[in-house]
Amino acid sequence: MQEQRRSWKDLFFDEIREEMKSMGISTGEKKRLSIGVEILTRPYIMLLDEPTTGLDSASTFFVIRALNSIAYDGKIVICSLHQPSSNVFNLLDDMLLLSGGETVYFGEAKMVVKFFEEAGFPCPTKRNPSDHFLRCINLDFDIIAEALL
């Protein structure tokens, strides 16, 4: 049986994965390294599930800014983010908000504040928009509050 030849990319990424396993690096460092390795492959579409989980706010900002730069270079970047800071929120181009598996909003991120305002849920001046949206669309908190009363 002939052994299947592996590309240099496969060998390189296998080596990186092995190094990551043996190195004593933090979860945040592993996350950034994993994203960096993905970027090296120069994909046309990047799908990232919570790329900022485990990162501090400064690291989160720089990761999202890097992904934003990749998107402006013509690549498609789709990622899930949970409660981004106001600074990160301002870097977003488009947004999909879900509640109970249903779409609440899908469109330009810069228009979502207006959307909630027109729906009767204006965002208070000094509140992080993503925190406000979460409170407006998450029904779990209402159910808990009713149970406690």
**pLDDT digits 0-9 by tens, 48-71:** 988 888 888 888 898 899 899 999
pTM of the complete model? 0.69
Residue ranges of the domains in the chain?
8-148
Task: Note the pLDDT tens digit of each residue in 82-120.
Answer: 889 999 999 999 999 988 888 999 999 999 999 999 999
Contact 143, 136 (CB under 8 A): no
d(CA 14, CA 82): 30
d(CA 131, CA 12): 40
Q: What is the CATH number of domain 8-148?
A: 3.40.50.300
Q: What mean pLDDT, rounded, does the chain reach? A: 82
